[in-house]
Amino acid sequence: MKHFPRTESSIALACATIGLVVAARSPTFAQAPRFRVVEVAPNAFAAIAVPGGDAGSNSGFLITRRGVVVFDSHLTPAAADSLLAQVRARTSLPVRFLINSHFHGDHTHGNGAFPGDVEIISHATTRERLLSDTMPGLRLPTLTFLQRVEFFPTRDSSMIALFSGRGHTDGDVALYDPHRRLLYGGDLLFNRMIPVVRNAYLREWITTLQELHKLDAPTVIPGHGEPGGPEIIVELIEYLRWLTDAAAEATAARIPRDRFLQETRLPDRFRDWGGANRLAANLEKAYDDLASHP
């Protein structure tokens, strides 16, 4: 396992062109659709998970002249197989890199479907978390970094994997393409959905999202929900501010936890969001965090 130093790192692929590295696998398209693939920019794609399917989350892939970069591997190897089939349907170029946005299984448990010569990249803490994952056949990240790493840097093309701070987890990575002006956010971003917060750093998440918003990407692909624009970032910041402010006010006023959970209501502007069953867990997490660290 290789590790990049804290300073900005660059992966320049000077090696000779290799053949297609994606091995043939058993057909999966006869099953119910796992996701639908959307071209969000020229040669840049998002695989939008079908609710209830075994994809579990969104992923994406970008085709360059030097190969393909994939962002996240879904919940199951079968879903990852389907994703690789979508790549093969669009290019004969090899998959060179797979980026794991964070350690949760719906973004990493498809890693084992990728051939062994595909480098898997993550933040260093994500790899540490995955060491305790018991998923059979799980491939761990082979390259880790702390702040940023750039892929295929040329005058007219590059992609940058960024760690902008803790948020959904302690190792969230986004993928930014400044030339195609798009951002894959992983689970730092939920589009009009109550987010999952069990491993979150709620106040830091707001700061991290503010940093991503500065990138000014007009196309944003969240880890869950539909692609959109920078409003995805703004709306999630607003939700997290409401959540943390409500918990801070309750803990400062010494309102009991049970009363806070029972009486707190979601503001009207978030009422039509998906994942309403996660609100109670969000409130519990916010109250406990703010009670421990006012």
pTM comes to 0.89
pLDDT band at 193 (very low <50, low <70, confident <90, very high): very high
CA–CA gap between residue 128 and residue 136 (Å, rounded)? 17
The vertex-112 CA angle with 107 and 114, nearest 5°, equals 95
CA–CA gap between residue 159 and residue 64 (Å, rounded)? 10
pLDDT in tens, 64-110: 999 999 999 999 999 999 999 999 999 999 999 999 999 999 999 99
CA–CA gap between residue 204 and residue 260 (Å, rounded)? 22
| Predicted confidence (pLDDT) at residue 62 exceeds the cutoff of 60 | yes
Note the pLDDT of residue 33: 83
Note the pLDDT of residue 15: 31
Q: Which domains does the chain have, with CATH numbers?
A: 2-227 (3.60.15.10)
pLDDT band at 158 (very low <50, low <70, confident <90, very high): confident
CA 289 to the chain's CA centroid: 23
Cα dist from 140 to 15, 18, 162, 207, whole Å:
23, 23, 19, 29
Q: Three-state SS for 148?
A: strand
Enter the tokens of residue 187: 């689970």
Longest dimension (CA), the chain: 65
Enter the tokens of residue 200: 């979150």
**CA nearest 173: which of 151, 144, 193, 152?**
144
The residue to which tokens 């804290």 are assigned: 6
Tell me which DSSP letter residue 256 carries.
Answer: -
CB 177 within 8 Å of CB 101: no
| Predicted confidence (pLDDT) at residue 233 exceeds the cutoff of 60 | yes
Note the pLDDT of residue 190: 98
Q: Is 294 exposed, middle or buried (0-12, 13-18, 19+ CB in 10 A)?
A: exposed
Which contiguous run of DSSP H or E holds residue 288? helix 279-292
| Predicted confidence (pLDDT) at residue 271 exceeds the cutoff of 50 | yes
CA 98 to the chain's CA centroid: 12
Round the average pLDDT of the chain to a whole number and report it: 90
pLDDT band at 32 (very low <50, low <70, confident <90, very high): low
